[in-house]
Amino acid sequence: MNNSRHFINLEPGDDRVFKRKSCLEGLAKRLAVDWHDPDLLYQALTHSSFTYESRQNGFDNNQRLEFLGDVVLDLAVSDFLFRSYPNRDEGDLTKMRAALVCEPSLARVAKELGLGYCMRMGKGEERSGGRERPSILADVFEALLGAVYLDQGLVVAGNLALQFLAPVIKDVLEGRLDRDYKTELQEIVQQHGGEQVQYEILREEGPDHEKTFTAGVLYKGELAGTGTGRSKKDAEQQAAKFTLLNWGV
C-alpha cells in the first residue's frame, strides 16, 4: 500500500493549506516512492526556523538528513561520472562533480520540484524570502535524498538524485555550467606548483535558523580572501571568488 499521502499533516489555520497540499501531492507523484516511514519525508521538508519558532526539538528539522543526503549525492554523482566517462582524468571528473553538486545546481533542481513551497518554515524566514533562497533550496534537496536513503536504500536514493539532476548533467556536458570558484582557485594554485588552499569558517552570526557564515581562504598559512553566505558552502565559494579577484584572475 502506498503511504505517500500520510505525510500531508498540514497545520490548522494555515492560509497556504491548499497550495502546500497541492505541492506535497505533486511531489509525492514525482518521487513515486512507496514510503515505509512517511514522517521521514515530512522531516526532510521541515526547516530549522519552524522548529525554532515552535520550540520543537531541533532534531525534528532537516539538518541531520541534509548531512546524510550530502554524502549520498556525492557518492551517486561520483559513481555515475566514473562509470560514464572512463577516458576522463581525475581533474575533469572532479570539476564535473563540483558543477553538479554545487549550490546553484541543487537549488535549480529543488525549485523545479517545488520543494521551497512544500516546506514547513518559520514565519520570519518565509517573510525574508526563505522559500526561494538558494542555500535553503539546495539543503532541502539534500535532506530529501537523505530521507529516501533511510527509507528505501542507497540505490533508490542515488537513482532519484541522477534522475532529477539529468538536466543539469546535460548542461555540464555541453559547457553550460555555473562557475565553481573553489575548483578554479585550486587549479590556478596547482598550475603554479603551489600547495593546496584551505578553507576555514571564521565567523557564524545569527540564530540557528538564520545564520550567516564568513569563510576564509588560507594559502601558505595566510588569509588570502574572505566571503560571506547563508551556508558554509556559499561562504567558501564567495571566499574563493574574492581571492581570485584579489589575485587579478
Quote the CA–CA distance of 93 and 71 in Å, as a whole number.
17
Helix locations, 85-153, DSSP H: 90-101, 103-113, 115-118, 123-127, 134-152
Q: Reading across the β-sheet that carries 198-205, which strands appear in turn?
A: 198-205, 212-219, 222-229
Q: What are the CA-CA distances from residue 8 to residues 5, 71, 152 (Å)? A: 6, 27, 19
Q: Which residues are known catalytic residues?
A: 70, 142
Q: DSSP strand E in the chain: where?
A: 198-205, 212-219, 222-229
